[in-house]
Each structure stands twice: as C-alpha cells, then as structure tokens.
Amino acid sequence: MRCVNPFPWPAADGAAAAVLGREAVTTASNSWKRAAGGLATLGLLLSSCRLQPSRVPLGGEHVDEQAALEATRRAAQKSASSAPVALPSAPIEEAAHAPALPAPADAAASQDNPKPTPGNAAFEPRPFAIHQTWTRLFDLEFNIKVGPGGSIDMNMVSHQEARFEVLGVTNGTLDKLGIEYVVYTSKLTIMGATQDSPEELAGKRFVVTFNRDKPDVRDAGGGTPPKKQIDSVKDDAREPLEIEKALKELARLAGNGRGDFSTAGAIALAGGEDDDTKVPSAKASLRQVVVGAHAEKSALLDLGYTLTNVLEDRSVIEVQVAGTMSVLDAPGRYQSSTLQGPMELRSAEPAGMQGRGTMKVTTSYKY
C-alpha cells in the first residue's frame, strides 16, 4: 500500500490543520484487509490490515450466511480468553491496546449451541470461473492526536464497496480481473470540523491482467491510470492469490479442528506484504470449526498483527491490531472480520510530526 503523508510539518495552527484535511491519505482498503486480511489511511488503511486483510470469496453455492455468522458468534462467546498475542513493539501509551487473542477452548457443545467439529471440514477454495463476482464492504475508523503535545485531534471514517469480477481464467489460474469501486467515501474531522475527503478510486472501474502473477492495471477505457491509482488497485488485485494460499492452509488445519497458521499463512490472511507495508509480526490461529442449525460450517480464526508503513517523508506509521475472522465452507470463502488496536506515527526528524491513537477495521462480503 502506498501512502501520501497527511501531516505536512509544521502544522500547529488552523491553516495547517486545513492542509491536513486536503492531504488526507487515499489508499487501498487492503488491506487489511489484509487482513487482512487489513492497513492504510493516514498512510495506513489495515487487508489486511488492506489489515488490508486478504478478502475474496472464490465462488460457490448460497448458504444461510447470517445463520453461519450467528453460530460463529455464539461459539466465540463460549470460548475462554487467555494470553494476548505477542507483538514486538513496546506498548503505545495513551492508546487502547490491541485486544488479547482468545486461546482455543474445549467448551462442551450442547443441543442449543453450535458443535465444534474436529474433522471433515474442507474450506478448500473453488477454482476461479469466468463471471464469478463478489463485493467486499470495508469500514475503517481511526482517531489520533498529532502535533506538539498531541494538540491536534483527528478522526477519519471511510466506507468502501468494491465489486470484483473474474474476466479470464486459464487452467484454474486467474488471468484477468475487473475491480469497480462502486462506493468509496471518507470524512475527516480535525479539531471538531468535519469535511469530505475525496477518494480517487470512487466510481472507477479497472481491469487487471496477470502476466506470470504480475498485474497490469488499466482503466475501463484501456488507458493507463495515474501511478497512485495503479498501486492501490494492485493491492486489491493481489487478494485472490493471497486468499488461495490462506484457504489451503486453513483446509489442512480444519482436519484437526484447530491449530496455528504458519507465519506465511498469517501474512497471506493479512493480504501479504509490499514495498511500503511490512508485517514484522503475524499470528493467526484456527480456534474452532462449528456447525450451524442448517448444517452450514464456519471457521473462527483469531488474528494478531503488527504492521508498519513508511510514508514519503520516511515517517513511519505502526499499528498493532488483533481480532477475529469468520470463514464459510463449501467452498471456503471469507465472511467477515474485525481488527482493532493502537497506532503510532513516528517522524524520521526530531522536530517532525508525532502522533498516537487507535484504529478499527471491519470487513464483510456479499456473494
């Protein structure tokens, strides 16, 4: 994920605060995804994280997804919490710490609750098919205090609805993908004053062609978009490849009903790394597989990440987030995820802008 520094320094007065609003970052939601499957607005829009987490349904038959979500939530409520995920950075003062990751629990199942399933749960992704579509809904909110002594309060709320369509497949390999940013809105509040923050991708459609896994991005008319747009679209276009990796590892873990992802698998759930966004710490676990009232299966995952993003002026934004993700079976596809935790802005210059705050990213899907 590539970012524009929204904090030109100095920025201690009202005029500079207006500049902050005009320069608010516009980046891909992956993020966070990914998971992400989720990281960067303000230079970091979590998938993931686009904590941009990785987020892509790979087709399949319709199931009662609301029932599956409720079953997963009920299972989560019966699980006991234990030690928090280990993150390498020191705790960020004056900010809420990332929530602890619950340890797997051996809660007894009853007739009134979903039953933990130790085996025969596949969660394998279905091969790509032309005209396969899905929509990802992404919501991000951050609150941060910046400037001398944290004198400037900033809040940003973003909502994105991106529609994905498979346009080309060869032997099960994704060749061409369409991405349309049907809705993309952001509002920035500085010292109590709120204004819209324009998003360059809003209302635009792009076509991504893969050549040996390298994406070539074109706009709807076949032209070459601006570099910032290309970088953001590439982040989202990478998601199907990352989700395949993550679901294949989940399929292996589901045979035992629980277990830890490898570091590579956890990073795939977050949408992977790029030149700007790094994942120095990643932890993901399958807590349990549950079966709902209509025999639909879902998996509940615990996630924890430290994400860092380097801005154009070499300032660094670090986010520590933790939360949960639910995945549906037959075939495997993401249902929803929530990640939240503290964030910190560190300047490369002694007199540069510093800031601390919190962020929350929620992602869900329509098939």
The domain locations on the chain are 14-366
Q: Residues 6 or more apart from 188 whose CB is under 8 A from it?
A: 20, 21, 24, 154, 155, 156, 194, 195, 196, 197
CB 296 within 8 A of CB 329: yes
**Confidence (pLDDT) at 311:** 80
Mean pLDDT for back-to-back runs of 10 residues, the chain (367 residues): 38 37 33 32 35 40 51 50 39 41 40 46 85 96 91 95 97 94 96 94 97 92 96 91 92 92 94 82 96 90 93 86 96 95 90 90 93
Q: What is the pTM of this model?
A: 0.71
Q: Beta strand pairing status for 205-211 and 193-196?
A: unpaired
**Confidence (pLDDT) at 44:** 34
**Confidence (pLDDT) at 118:** 46
Measured distance CA(127)–CA(168) in Å, rounded: 12
**Confidence (pLDDT) at 68:** 52
CB 201 within 8 A of CB 236: no
Q: Look up residue 309 and give its two tokens.
A: 């993003």
Measured distance CA(269)–CA(272) in Å, rounded: 7
**Confidence (pLDDT) at 300:** 97
**Angle of CA points 270, 161, 43, to nearest 5°:** 50
Q: Torsion angle, CA of 213/217/222/227, rounded to 10 degrees?
A: -150
**Confidence (pLDDT) at 105:** 40
